[in-house]
Amino acid sequence: MTEQQIKVAIADDHKIFRDGIKMALKEKESLKIIWEAEDGKDLMHKLKIKLPDVILMDIRMPEIDGINAISMIRREFESIKIIVLTMYDDQEMITKMMEMGANAYLTKTTDPEEIYQAILTCVNDDFYFNELVNKAVLLKLQHKKTVKQFYPNPVKFSDKEVAILKLIAEDKTTDEISKEIFLSPRTIETIRQNMKQKVGAKTIAGLVMYGMRNKLLE
């Protein structure tokens, strides 16, 4: 995605906010806002016309809310990166959206430069972990019954896999992990996918949660 513009869509029912995001990102030459949607129904309709690389999406929208929209998008468009951009910083909602397939979770008070960095990180490394997400994941781990039902059986990881998992939890990019582990980025991606399959995790957030629960991560 470095040589061509990243196609971005915005889904939010407040025009003033959509305009503000467009204004904040308009100077970024690596991005191109291809369309905006005023509600969830409009979002799903426009996805059938032109696919973005990244969607900046609110949770509370008319017609189809963000929770249902993310579920529908993940069934049809697995490759699209979804960045939740909302007023809500509820920890239960954060973990729910990440487990459903969001690639990042930001509040609307987030600095535009961080939104830009989150877009780049999601495109290049699938996920953007910030303090909000990390705290929500850690707190969920305190509710052992909830976590246990997702990952009932322990899985054996190799030393290499554990090393990679720790670097993922430290928010290292694929390229950074590649340099530290001395493996190609493609190999890192393959190992990461294999680890997700081993534990039955759908997302990197789920994989990190597994690592914490089983004391592979501090």
Q: Where in the chain is the domain with CATH 3.40.50.2300?
A: 6-131
For residues 119 and 8, is the Cβ–Cβ distance under 8 A?
Answer: yes
Q: What would the pLDDT profile of 180-218 be if each residue is shown by its tens digit?
A: 989 898 899 889 888 888 887 777 777 887 787 777 776
- Taking 90 as the threshold, does the pLDDT of residue 78 lie above it? no
Domain 6-131 classification at class level: alpha beta
Which residues, at least 6 apart from 31, have a Cβ–Cβ distance to it below 8 Å?
5, 6, 8, 25, 116, 119
Rounded CA-CA distance 186/177 in Å is: 11
For residues 11 and 61, is the Cβ–Cβ distance under 8 A?
Answer: yes
- pTM given for the model: 0.68
The reported pLDDT for the residue numbered 1 is: 43
- Taking 90 as the threshold, does the pLDDT of residue 172 lie above it? no
For residues 184 and 164, is the Cβ–Cβ distance under 8 A?
Answer: no
Rounded CA-CA distance 112/199 in Å is: 35
Q: Where in the chain is the domain with CATH 1.10.10.10?
A: 141-213
Q: Which two tokens stand for residue 99?
A: 């487990």
Q: How confident is the model at residue 99 (pLDDT cuts 50, 70, 90)?
A: confident
For residues 1 and 27, is the Cβ–Cβ distance under 8 A?
Answer: no
Percent of all residues in the chain with a pLDDT value above 70, rounded to a whole number: 89
Q: Does domain 141-213 have CATH number 3.30.70.20?
A: no
Residue of 205 and 177 predicted with greater confidence: 177
Q: How confident is the model at residue 151 (pLDDT cuts 50, 70, 90)?
A: very low
